[in-house]
A and B are shown apart, each in its own frame.
Chain A
Amino acid sequence: MLVLSRKEDESIIINDNIEIKIVSLRQDQVKLGIVAPKEVKIYRKEIYDEIQKANIAAASSGGKVDKLKDIIISRKKKETE
């Protein structure tokens, strides 16, 4: 991992067209400003982690699909009543 030191208001440039600027520094939090082309995806890493966690949970679920059928049928009945 490349580690660079930056001060407030200083930036780094990635790939000639993505700028990441240190907007403000506080005790335990850094505010970043990002200027990037529209097609560049920027997400907090937690989003990826969350989707990955949900996928892993989903992959080990699904054993009770048969029971699900009963629930859906009874729900449909309720709707038509």
Chain B
Amino acid sequence: MPNSKTIAVAMSGGVDSSTVAAMLCEQGHKVVGLTMQLWNQRRLAGHQGMPDEPVQGRCCSLDDVYDARRVSETLGIPYYVVNQEERFEQDVVRPFVQEYLSGRTPIPCSLCNNHLKFDQLLITARQIGAELLATGHYARNEFDERTGRWVLKRPADRAKDQTYFLFGLTQEQLSRTLFPLGEMRKPEVREEAKRAGLRLFSKPDSQEICFVPGGDYKMFLDAYLEEQGEEVLDTAGELVTTSGEVVGTHNGIHNFTVGQRKGLGVATGSPLYVLEIRGDKRQVVVGRGDELYSRTLRAKRLNWIAVDDLREPMRAQAKIRHRHEAAEAVVEESGEDEVLVTFDAPQRAITPGQAVVFYDGDVVVGGGWIT
């Protein structure tokens, strides 16, 4: 085959990446399967409220490695597990814990993409002789002849759009990455998996944070800090209103997320919401639902994709969390590596620690981290 290339596929053991491997094989490429071992699911077993047995059916569980290996065996491609537990802990888990303890709500998947999948795994792929890395993300990337830049675009299946987690990709990374599912819809992917003879075509999608069993991040924080021999930080403090009135106490800022309604332990006439978390004062600011709405945010640690820099105020659609409908806004520089985002209409629960990603239609212009 004339255009046959050596392509590494980041295989998680799920349907999406497995199908990518099958499709690339069918196209005649030389495919190498790689799975990153990121976290030992047994590691915190028995600590602070964690289950004694590892929970199966998640990233890095033995089940998922087994599935990825079986898919590779079915396809007849070489397959390797590369260990990145140390990097994952340093670049994803520790920041995740620190963010919560500082009163922010982190997104570990973006950190993992930036530091592991598209950094370390891409390096490994190139080292073993694969110039390209393919993943099962729902996204599109292409080279824009006009601007001379690689662009990241929303996928055909808007419901599966994962570009929000990919805003940190550099030009170099985009140039070496393939998103073969960008033009497909999920049912088509499952159909393709079935056609390729992959027995996992009906395996359910994974949703949770891969290293947090059952999605209970508070339990994870306690268990992790205990394992590290670190004092479980006492971040208890006051519940205050926007006018400064103390209306109660709370058991630790890391138990709260902006927009949260339940678990405040304060009985008032109208429902109360978390409006803000003041990490330095250990205060959780609460108020009415309508006080959750805000028109502006600031973001730092920016990455630009479609443009090389923000030269003048820009109109864009800004997305402030994975499940948020991108909203019209103006983005302007407000400091060194910092932007001010002003929405046309107030947005609910803008949350520090989350990413804000700027879109121009389907194109990801860039993004940054909400402060």
Q: Do A and B bind each other?
A: no
> Using a CB–CB distance below 8 Å, which chain B residues touch chain A?
none
> Using a CB–CB distance below 8 Å, which chain A residues touch chain B?
none
